Amino acid sequence: MPRHRVLAISKPVVPPWSDSSKNLVRDLLLGAESTGFRVLTDGTHRFGLPHVREVPVYASNNHYSPTVWQNARIVSSIVRSNKREIHHYFYAPNRRTASVAKVLETIKRNPSIQTICSVPHSFHHAKQLFFADVNVALSTFTANRLREAGVNDVRIIRPSTPQLQRTPRPTRESRQQSHPELPDTKYVVLYPGDYSFSDTAVRVAEAALRLKDNKDIGWVFACRIKDDDSLGVEQAVKRMLRPIGERVCFLNHVNKIIELLAACDLTVLPAESTYAKMDIPLVLLEAMALGRPVIVSNRPPIAELADLGGALASEAGSAHSLADNIVALLEDEAEYESWSDRGARVVAESFDRTQTARAYEAIYRDLS
C-alpha cells in the first residue's frame, strides 16, 4: 500500500522520450518505492506498474499546444483529486500556469510541489510565478536565485538519467553501419541543443569553421525546429558551414536520441543560457552515462557539471575555446578516456534515479 498519493501534472508522459520535463516524471515513477501516482497521458502508453495509474487527458497528436478542452480536462483531474493527494507540477515557471494553479490550490488546499523544469525568463519579480508549498530547483544556481527573489521553501534535487550501459567508443565503420546519415569521418561531434534563445548554435558553427581543415572531424546539429525564428537560425548555420560540405549534417526531431549519442564521439552544449531548457539538460547526462565526454560552458547553471568534475568547460561565447577543447579530447586518447570515465562516474554518483526518487519521497512525507 503506497504511503503517499501524488497527481503528477505535466506534459503527457509517453514516448518518444525527447522532452526533459516528462522524462523527469518517467524516471520518478520508475524509481519510487512508497508512492502511488496518477500521471497524465494521451492514452497510448502504459507503464504496467502497480503504483502508477494513467489518466488520458491529452490528444495523441497535440502534445505541445494543448487545446482548451485538454486544459479543461487537466483542471478537472486536479479539482476531482482526493484531499490527501499531493499535487506535483512539472512546468517551467510562467504567468499563465501560475495564475491558474494559484486559484486551484486555493480552492483545493491540497499539499503541492513544483519542480522547476527550466529557469524563468527573468528572476525579477519571480516570486509571483510560484504557488506551491515546496519548490524544487534542479541546480544550486537556480535555487540560490529563487531564494534571493523571495520564493518560499526552495530545495535542490538534481535530475536523474535512465540506467544506461556504458558502450564502447564508436569506430568510423560501426557508425556508418548504424547511422549512415551521419558524416563519414573518423570523429563526429554532436550538438543536441537549440537554435533559439541564445547564440550557442552559431558558436558551435564558428568552432567547426575554425576546424574546417581537419578532415577527420564531422559535425551533427540535432535541434528541433520550434518556430520560424529557429528555422531561420538553422538556415544561417547551414550557409556558414558550406565550406565543410558533407562533413556536417542537420537532424531535427530525433526519436532515438540514446542511439545517436552512442554513435557520436563527443557531445557539446556550451550554452550561454539554459532558458527553455533544463538547468542540466538530460541529453548531457545520457551522453556521460554512455561514456561520451561532454563539453559545456563555464556559465551557470550548466557549468555545475564541470564543477562536479564530469564535463569539460569552455569559455562561454568563445568559439576558439570550444575548438581547442574539441581537438584536445578527440586527438588525445588518454584525455578522451579520462573524461569518459569522469563523466560516467559523476552521473552514477550524483544523478542516480534511486537517489532522486528518495529525495522526492522525503518531500512527499513532509507534506503528508
Q: Which tens digit of pLDDT belongs to each residue from 280-316? A: 999 999 999 999 999 999 999 999 999 999 999 999 9
Q: For residue 145, give the nearest of 164, 167, 129 by alpha carbon.
A: 129
Please determine, for residue 343, whether its predicted confidence score (pLDDT) is greater than 90: yes
Q: Please state the three-class secondary structure of the chain as a single string.
A: CCCEEEEEECCCCCCCCCCHHHHHHHHHHHHCCCEEEEEEECCCCCCCCCCEEEEECCCCCCCCCCCHHHHHHHHHHHHCCCCCCEEEEEECCCHHHHHHHHHHHHHHCCCEEEEECCCCCCCCCHHHHCCCCEEEECCHHHHHHHHHCCCCCEEECCCCCCCCCCCCCCCHHHHHHHCCCCCCCCEEEEECCCCCCCCHHHHHHHHHHHCCCCCCEEEEEECCCCCHHHHHHHHHHHHHCHHHHHHEEEECCCCCHHHHHHHCCEEEECCCCCCCCCCCCHHHHHHHHHCCCEEEECCCCCCHHHHCCCCEEECCCCHHHHHHHHHHHHCCHHHHHHHHHHHHHHHHHHCCHHHHHHHHHHHHHHHC
Query: Which residue is it, cell 518505492?
Result: 33
Residues 329, 211 share a domain: yes
Domain that holds residue 125: 4-160+352-367
Q: Which tens digit of pLDDT belongs to each residue from 7-37? A: 999 999 999 888 899 999 999 999 999 999 9
First CA to last CA distance, the chain: 15
Helix (H, G, I), strand (E, B) or coil at 155: strand
pTM: 0.93
Helix (H, G, I), strand (E, B) or coil at 93: coil
Q: Which tens digit of pLDDT belongs to each residue from 156-195? A: 999 999 889 999 999 999 999 999 999 999 999 999 999 9
Query: Which residue is it, cell 499531493?
Result: 86
Residue 93 in any domain: the answer is yes
Looking up residue 324, the CATH number of its domain turns out to be: 3.40.50.2000
Look over the chain and give the mean of its residue pLDDT values, rounded to a whole number: 94
Please determine, for residue 62, whether its predicted confidence score (pLDDT) is greater than 60: no
Distance CA 117, CA 137 (A): 8
For position 197, what pLDDT does the model report?
86
Q: Is residue 121 classed exposed, middle or buried when 0-12, 13-18 and 19+ CB atoms within 10 A define those classes?
A: middle
Residues 181, 141 share a domain: no
Residues 143, 34 share a domain: yes
Q: Grid coordinates representing 16?
A: 518518444
Residues 328, 194 share a domain: yes
Given a contact cutoff of 8 angstroms between Cβ atoms, the answer to whether 52 and 79 are in contact is no
Residues 17, 101 share a domain: yes
For position 7, what pLDDT does the model report?
96
Tell me phi and psi for residue 256, to 5 degrees: -110, 70
Residue 270 in any domain: the answer is yes
Q: Grid coordinates representing 12?
A: 503527457
For position 64, what pLDDT does the model report?
56
Residues 191, 142 share a domain: no
Q: State the CB neighbour count (10 A cutoff) for residue 236.
A: 14
Residue 166 in any domain: the answer is no
Q: Which tens digit of pLDDT belongs to each residue from 322-337? A: 999 999 999 999 999 9
Distance (Å) of CA 219 to CA 2, 284, 307: 48, 17, 27
**More reliable by pLDDT, 319 or 67:** 319
Residue 344 in any domain: the answer is yes
Residues 230, 105 share a domain: no
Residue 281 in any domain: the answer is yes
Residues 145, 30 share a domain: yes
Residues 187, 155 share a domain: no
Please determine, for residue 63, whether its predicted confidence score (pLDDT) is greater than 60: no
Please determine, for residue 49, whether its predicted confidence score (pLDDT) is greater than 90: yes
Q: Is residue 253 classed exposed, middle or buried when 0-12, 13-18 and 19+ CB atoms within 10 A define those classes?
A: exposed
For position 97, what pLDDT does the model report?
86
Residues 190, 138 share a domain: no
Q: For residue 76, give the nearest of 37, 23, 40 by alpha carbon.
A: 40
Given a contact cutoff of 8 angstroms between Cβ atoms, the answer to whether 356 and 157 are in contact is yes
Distance CA 87, CA 97 (A): 14
Q: For residue 222, give the nearest of 210, 243, 239, 237 by alpha carbon.
A: 237
Residues 362, 249 share a domain: no
How would residue 71 be classed by pLDDT, with cut points 50, 70 and 90? confident
